[in-house]
Amino acid sequence: MPTTPSPPVHVQLGADVQAPVAVIEGSDLEEPPVLAPGDEAHAALLVNGGARDTYEAKTITLHLQDPELGSHAIGQIGFDLPGVDSLTVDDGARVTYWTTASGYALDFIMSL
């Protein structure tokens, strides 16, 4: 029976960026996480991967989509970065797919 990988996390760091943060390939699960109301999902985010082009980000935006892979965004949530005035982001920034296990998401960031 074929499986559908979980939809990637679409994150934009900063108000003026044109593209979402690149997804870490291989961080997806065979079965997408299914959440009941009140459940949590996690994704790990690396904002500075050591690449050249840097910028300051003061906001983060999550683009929401339905579970079907390749679906269009159905909404977005934007907010100021918690606890800091800004972050230095570069074009090496990466994010994992959604998972229900926070430690699993962090494994991919720690192996970069």
| pLDDT tens digits along 24-58 | 989 988 877 878 889 998 999 999 988 788 999 99
**Sheet containing 10-13, strands listed edge to edge, beginning at the edge strand earlier in sequence:** 10-13, 59-65, 73-80
Confidence of residue 102 (pLDDT cuts 50, 70, 90): confident
**Higher per-residue confidence, 73 vs 104:** 104
Q: The tokens of 78 are what?
A: 């934007």
- Beta strands (DSSP E) in 18-80 are 22-23, 45-46, 54-57, 59-65, 73-80
pLDDT at 111 over 90: no
